[in-house]
Chain A
Amino acid sequence: MKVAIIGGGTMGTVYGHNIAKMEGVRAAGVCDVNRAKAERLAQVCATNAYTSMDRLLAQEAPDVVCLCIPTFLHRSYFEQLAAAGKHVICEKPIALSLEDARSMIESSRKHQVRGFIGQVLRFFPNYADAAEKVRAGKIGKPGVAHFKRISAFPAGEGNWFRDREQSGGVILDLMIHDIDYARLLFGDVRSVYARLHHSRKPGAEMEYAQVTLKFRNNAIASLEGFWGYPGPFTTAFELAGDKGIIRLDSSQAHSLDIKTGQSGLTSQVQGQVQVPQSPMKHDPYFYEISHFLDCIREDKTPIVTMGDALHALSIALAAEHSARTGLPVEMEGEI
């Protein structure tokens, strides 16, 4: 299977490393408008670098294309690729508007290609384990849950994360992971309430959001998302039900901690998108991409669909709306 990558930033590089390790999969060109980035990524997965997607498609003829580009570009690239008959694995969030997201879904249908959105949290072993335990009844009837995701302010090519018109902000870009996961656990959302602070003041650049989701099964979830946290990337959850409680705090789950002396102390580099690292044979993106490629090969339904990504987006947009108006938003059944 020939897989191309569009976008040589942080996520494109993660994809490149993983694709290079997969059996039966070959990198078939990488593309970035920034030639240096394209060439660096091409080295990672031993393929050719391009600065034009059209040229890549013409010369490499990939079966699948991974879109690791800023969110505001998702729809147009996705639809070009679908029209070219390519299967597409697109980074989350699916898009910045429901209209764009619906159009992407429609275009994959129309051109009979497979489309996938990288809601990767479902492939994290710690989150997958908890979801399985909830399904097995370990917490009983769900009651109150908490989800936390806090990171440094991300920097991408041209600082596109800073521009809410391009990235959607911390709820759409970061909290959407937990929104999708909470939906997986508790089902449909009845109402959304949110508070949001965002500032682009130099030196105090931040976005911080608190969102409360009320589910149709009556469970309550409190979500916290933060860009600009001055500590290491941290995620945490607590799932409390009438029978049990499941908790995870990534800062308490370090199976390996190496510290070296003298000047060798390293810290997380500020100003990059932080990707959770854990010392496991494969990172969650490996399992995610492998699963999506399997779904193409075997014509299977993925564990997270474009429809799921659309639902997560609709909740994130409702949270944005609530934060603007100060009022809760009731979710409709159909989106």
Chain B
Amino acid sequence: MNEIKIGMISFAHMHAASYLRALARRNDVKVVGIADAAHDRVKPFLEHYGLAYYADYHDLLKQDVDAVIVCSENVHHAEITMAAARAKKHVLCEKPLGLSDDEMRQMIQACKANGVQLMTAFPCRFLTSVMEAKQAIDRGDLGEIVAMKGTNRGMMPGGWFIDKALSGGGAVLDHTVHVTDLMNWFSGSSPVEVFAHAETLFHDVDIDDAGMVHILYENGVFAVLDPSWSRNSAFPTWGDVTLEVVGTKGCLQIDAFAQKNEIFSTDRAKGEWSYWGDNMDDGLIDGFVEALRDGGAVPVTGMDGYRSARVALAAYRSAQSGRPVQLTEGR
């Protein structure tokens, strides 16, 4: 393949805009069009990039495209991914990969059976700080990993994110998966037990917006993660990704968006942080495109998405029962 032809399916998750921007900067990618039943929300992008529009994503799948990027509401990930697989299109699916262990296994199986690749959109893997941390861990700079503590705190996103019928869950689902994926990657092991709290503590919403998720790994590493939508409108930025790793010989601390300028302007009644570090979405898209172009394996798989999302799903079961939940099958 010289030129990779990519279709975008749904802009429900606005990460799609950043992925499209990242695709557009590559000269080996042709974006074929955007499928989204909601024409209004994609109209500016259709015009700006001069793209074809499809009201029904099945029509996009009939076109000559190699791959699709799925940024629908969480509840539609499985259906769209499996339809794309049947149409022999590679898939980059927004996180969380799916809303149940079963449907995620079916998604992975459908892609495998149709000979296409499934990648989960975990852009944090492509943060320069995260990649260097992974190298330090793999070199053995920290000795054996003992424990990790992470945060992925954000603002309450509103919209379909707080409609359980479309999102499948609130903050604990939305914000557990990114850092859990990093923890899975760093630990080189699989989660075997989850203990969690999931609550509504910050906003007047009918879905969880606060939590604390403990993970125990098969190799004995333990971890804890705060996925809460606890940033308010007075906070200088949308949120954070932090991860500390404690090892037998050393420690490291990632504060992924610490590369920032502090802005104090009377334009706004609050201080703001302007991030100037590398763009992680560029790395995500480059990783996907280059794997397809070069015939290699995608850098973050459907299995990675599954291993991370099932921690979030188990977190809800633990919060419900007040007990740890075992993850023993289907690793």
Contacts and interface: CB of A to CB of B under 8 A. Distances in A.
Contact of A242 (B201, B226, B249): B201
A222 B211 CA distance: 10
Contact of B201 (A146, A219, A230, A327): A219
A144 interface: yes
A193 B228 CA distance: 18
Contacts of A327: 323-324
B58 to A, nearest CB: 42
B286 interface: no
Contacts of A326: 193, 216, 324
Interface string B252-296: 000000000000000000000000000000000000000000000
Contact of B197 (A142, A197, A201, A220): A220
Contacts of A126: none
A231 B216 contact: no
A105 interface: no
Contacts of A210: 147, 149, 214, 222-224
A127 interface: no
Contact of B212 (A197, A201, A222, A243): A222
Contacts of B193: 326
Interface string B180-194: 000000000000010
B71 to A, nearest CB: 28
Given A144-B212, A220-B212, A231 B195 contact: no
Given A195-B224, A197-B222, A229-B251, A208 B235 contact: no
Interface in B217-259: 222-224, 226, 228, 230-232, 234-235, 246, 248-251
Main secondary structure of the interface of A (DSSP, over half): strand
A32 interface: no
Given A222-B224, A327-B323, A195 B147 contact: yes
Interface string A198-229: 01010010101010101000111010101001
A222 B226 contact: yes
Contacts of B226: 144, 146, 222
A328 B322 contact: yes
B231 A245 contact: yes
A144 B201 contact: yes
A204 B146 CA distance: 11
Given A240-B228, A328-B323, A143 B201 contact: yes
A195 B195 CA distance: 11
Contacts of B224: 195, 210, 212, 222
A230 B250 contact: yes
A154 to B, nearest CB: 17
A144 B210 contact: yes
Contacts of B26: none
B46 to A, nearest CB: 39
B199 interface: yes
B143 to A, nearest CB: 7
A223 to B, nearest CB: 10
B41 interface: no
Contacts of A229: 251
Given A143-B202, A245-B230, A245-B232, A212 B197 contact: yes
A107 interface: no
Nearest to A223: B224
B230 A143 contact: yes
B203 interface: yes
Nearest to A212: B212
Contacts of A142: 201
A244 interface: yes
B136 to A, nearest CB: 14
Contact of A328 (B146, B147, B195): B195
Interface centre among B149, B197, B211 (most CB of A within 10 A): B197
10 contacts: A144-B211, A144-B212, A193-B195, A199-B248, A208-B246, A210-B214, A229-B251, A244-B232, A326-B216, A327-B324
Closest 3 CB pairs of A and B: A143-B201, A240-B230, A195-B222
Given A144-B211, A210-B224, A242-B202, 8 more contacts: A142-B201, A144-B210, A206-B146, A210-B223, A230-B250, A231-B251, A240-B202, A242-B201
